[in-house]
Structure formats: structure tokens, C-alpha cells
Structure 1
Amino acid sequence: MPAKGLLLLPALLLLVGCGGISDAPDRRVVTGTVTLDGAPLEGGVIRFRPLPEGPIAAGKIRDGKYEVTNKGGVPLGKQRVEIKGTPILPADTAGMSLGEIDAATKPAIPVPDKYHKNSELEADIEAGGDPLVLDFDLKN
């Protein structure tokens, strides 16, 4: 191989390595509702943990609704779903002092461990162009 070819080979390999080939998993936007004993979960977090392992995707729950869009959504495949209640901040905190925000913040609604710490919830995320709608009706 001529000397010029040897100089171009590392540059070509660098371009291929940085190109469109990605080891990131395919993903899909997931949206839906979360209720606890029939009432919308006011505030919380929903996490999708790939089984057996992989990148976690999460979204906030507000007034019983959630949407996971970060990095394109939830990785495709089987997921363990974890749902946890979180403190509920006021919708508009403009002009409020930290003390006023703290006083107006509602405490987290406790979600049973079987949906969070020891979650028994699972979901299968299949490929598709439209958001996948998954609703969760939790029971105490």
C-alpha cells in the first residue's frame, strides 16, 4: 500500500467509528396514566428498567399522567416498571419565597413497595412510530 494510503486509513477508520453506527438501543415514546385505588397519582416518578439490564428511562407523573420522551423514550424489550410517589410542588412558584414553596408543597403519596422497591410490574415495549400508551392502575 502506498504511503498516502497508510495515512488515509486511520482517518477513514475514525470517520467510520464516529459515524451513524450506534450501540444505543432502539427506543419508543411511552405515555399513559397512573392511578392509585382509582384516583390519579398527583405526583411521582415512573422508571422503566430493561430486563435483564440496560439504560433506565424515566418520566415525571403529574395529575396521574406521564410521558417518557428523553433520548427517544423507553428502550425496546421487556421492562420492569417502578412507580414512586414524590412531593407535589405548586404549579406556579413565580414570586414565592423558598418558605412559601415549602409550605405549599404537598407530601408524597405513598405507593406500595410492590410497585416501587419490589416492583412486580412489567411491560413489553415493542417497536412502533406512535407513542405506546401504558396505563397503570395500582391498588393499596
Structure 2
Amino acid sequence: MRDAVWTLLSLLLITLPTIGCGAKSAGPETYPVTGVVTLAGAPVDGAIVQFTPTSPDAGISGAQTITRPDGTFEMKINLDMGKTAKLGLPPGDYKVAITKLQATPEQSAPNIPPKNVLPPKYATTDASELSAKVTVDGENRFEFPLAK
């Protein structure tokens, strides 16, 4: 019995340091991506910034985040079906879409969706001409000055 206890303790000591380490390196290699969104020179608070890779080999289908009151944002990807997040994006070319949804009193009914208050040309990656190239050794800070 004593030998079994020591064997079990030895196994725990060997495996404990590796438990949880996988979460830190899970998913693709990412690099910090930050930026700012402005409209006519003013910061846009609460905008949804969406990055969609142009290559199917990017390792992700896309990522989105919300801007802070000063218009700044920091991208992250979701892992494990959204249970965990990892800062940054894999390197590559991305199309960018930006929206800001706002409900009006008339839209408080359950079947009326909120309205995008930014110019529609930025709403989808197909219509938007916004893009970003994330690099391994670059600053990866992007400014998106939107025009009305």
C-alpha cells in the first residue's frame, strides 16, 4: 500500500506542472493588434470592429472587438467555442468592417433590430475598403478614420 501511495504521489508531481500549460499556447500564434476608430475626426465609442482574414489558411475565421470611449480597440480571438480568449491576431492580410448599432425608441419592439449609425459603406468586409496587414515584427496599430 505504501508503494502505491508513493507511486501516485510521484505521478502527480510529474504531471501537475504540465496541467493548464496547454491553454497558454492554444490556438494559432498571435501578435498584438490595436488601433483607433474615428468618424469625422472624433473617436467612436462602442463600434464593432471586425477583422476577417483574406486567406483560408489564417487559422481563424475572424475576430471582432468593441471600441472604448476614446475610440481605441485591442483585437483578440476566441478559443474553445468562446470559453477563452487570446490577445492578438495571426499574421496575414485582413479585410475590416466597422459598425455601431444603436436602438431607437421605435426599435424597442422585439422584431426591430438596432440601426447601424455609421456610414453603410463600412458595414461589411465586401463593401468596406478598409484593410489591415498583421505582421510578426510590426507595430500592428491601425487607424481607421471613417468619413461621413
Band of TM-score, shorter chain: 0.5 to 0.7
Per the alignment, residue 139 of structure 1 pairs with 147
- Amino acid aligned to 2:99: K
Distance 1:58 1:131, change over 3 A: farther
Tell me the TM-score normalised to structure 2 length: 0.58
Cα contact 1:50–1:75 (8 A) shared by 2: no
Q: Distance in 2 between matches of 1:87 and 1:67?
A: 22
Distance 1:60 1:67, change over 3 A: same
Q: Distance in 2 between matches of 1:73 and 1:42?
A: 20
Q: Distance in 2 between matches of 1:74 and 1:108?
A: 28
- The question of 1:60 aligning with 2:62 is answered no
Q: 1:43 aligns with which of 32, 39, 46?
A: 46
* Paired residue secondary structure (1:26): coil
Per the alignment, residue 115 of structure 1 pairs with 122
Distance 1:132 1:120, change over 3 A: same
How many residue pairs align between the two structures? 102
Q: Distance in 2 between matches of 1:108 and 1:35?
A: 19
CA RMSD of aligned residues (A): 2.8
Q: Distance in 2 between matches of 1:77 and 1:25?
A: 12
**Gapped runs of 5+ residues in structure 2?**
1-21, 77-84, 109-113
Cα contact 2:37–2:143 (8 A) shared by 1: yes
Tell me the TM-score normalised to structure 1 length: 0.61
**Gapped runs of 5+ residues in structure 1?**
1-18, 89-101
Q: Distance in 1 between matches of 2:128 and 2:55?
A: 14
Q: 4+ residue runs of structure 1 moved beyond 4 angstroms?
A: none
The answer to which structure, 1 or 2, has the higher relative contact order (CA under 8 A, 6+ apart) is 1
Q: Percent identity between the aligned chains? A: 34
